[in-house]
Amino acid sequence: MSIVHVVLIQWPSGVSPARVERARVLAREFPDRIGGLSIVEGPSVSGEGLERGNDYGMVVTFRDRNALEHYLPHPVHQEFVRVLEEQPPAQVTVFDITGASSAAETPGSTPPG
C-alpha cells in the first residue's frame, strides 16, 4: 500500500530566496535520484488563508513502506535536510497517511451513490 508523506514548512524570517529555491530543486529531483516515489511541491495557492504560517508544502507519495524507509536515510534526502538546517525553519510538520485513494478502497467506508 502506498504511503503519502505530507511536509509543511514555515521558512524562517529573512530566509534567502536562493536557499528556498535550492530546497525546491532538490525536492523535485527526488523521483529521479531516489526512486519509488512521486512528488508535488510548492508554495500554497489556497485562498482559504488556513496555512497557519506555513509557506511551503510537499506531498511525496511512496509506492510502499519500503520506499519510504529507503528515502529517509538516502543521501539526496539528507542533502535536502541539510539545506533546511543551514537556516532552520520556524516550523516543520510531517504527516504520513496510508494511501487508500478512494472511499471504495478504505476499509469500513461506504462508497458514494
Q: pLDDT for 6-27, tens place per residue?
A: 999 999 999 999 999 999 999 9
> So where are the chain's domains?
3-100
pTM of the prediction? 0.82
C-alpha cell at 69: 524507509
Q: Which helix or strand (DSSP H or E) is residue 41 part of?
A: strand 37-43
pLDDT tier, 95 (very low <50, low <70, confident <90, very high otherwise): very high
- Give the closest residue to 60 by CA, choosing from 51, 52, 70: 70
Q: Is 46 exposed, middle or buried (0-12, 13-18, 19+ CB in 10 A)?
A: exposed
The whole-angstrom separation of Cα 89 and Cα 86 is 9
How high does pLDDT run on average in the chain? 89
Domain 3-100 has CATH 3.30.70.100: yes
Q: How many CB atoms lie within 10 A of CB 104?
A: 10
What b/e readout covers 16-42, taking b as 16+ CB neighbours within 10 angstroms? Answer: eeeebebbbebbeebeeebebbebebe
Give residue-wise pLDDT tens across range 55-69. 999 999 999 999 999
Q: Examine the pLDDT at 87 and tell me if it is beyond 70.
A: yes
Q: Which helix or strand (DSSP H or E) is residue 95 part of?
A: strand 91-98
* End-to-end CA separation in angstroms for the chain: 25
